[in-house]
Amino acid sequence: MKTENTVWHEQHISKEQRASLKSQKPCLLWYTGLSGSGKSTVANAVDALLFKLGCHSYLLDGDNVRHGLNGDLGFTDEDRVENIRRISEVSKLFLDAGLIVSTAFISPFTEDRARARAKLEDGEFIEVYIDTPISVCEQRDPKGLYKKARAGEIKDFTGIDSTYDVPQSPEIHVKTAELSIQECAEQIVHYLIEQGFITMNKNDSDNIGRLGQG
């Protein structure tokens, strides 16, 4: 809770100056989708492509953040809301540093994603819907979570006994059941180029696929 004696301290270096030094526009790639949809895998592939392109980026993965910053939170609706609130604030700080930030969280509720968007400047929040049918997610089940949820061993599991609000108008719509991870990553990076977050010449843009194979 804020106190009446807490005031915002203005810094000498602005977000625009930090971004200019990096020759990019800061933005937040907010990956959302069911467990097993491929959020972390795609986000990692995008982050690797951005690195090869000389971009300054960082990936905040849901599981990793729950090992530290959000280690005190469970998976009730209330804890999920707080989980997203905290990561939204952290992401905002990373954007202030001029970075291209990725977050890979289920973030199941429309309201929470809207609140995260509202914290940023217009155009900075890029919702990336990793659209994978739950049947495919269950077949993958890399952590064995669906099996445990179906057996009643895990409660409040998204898609089973907890709601997932499907994004209605995401900036980027990715279908991992139809495209390879590399193709998904290229789709997202091309969006960043087209929207001016990354400045590249046409030859470099056309060669993104080769970077991913290297």
Point out the residues that are catalytic.
107
Torsion of CA 59, 53, 130, 19, to 10 degrees: 60
- Residues in CB range of 52: below 8 A, 6 or more apart: 211, 212, 214
73-77, Cβ contacts within 8 angstroms, sequence gap of 24 or more: 74/156, 75/155, 75/156, 75/157, 75/162, 76/156, 77/109, 77/156, 77/162
CA distance 43 to 188: 9
Our CA angle for 108, 109, 111, nearest 5°, is 155
Q: In the chain, which residue ranges form alpha helices assigned H by DSSP?
A: 15-22, 39-52, 62-65, 77-96, 110-118, 134-140, 145-150, 181-194, 202-206, 208-213
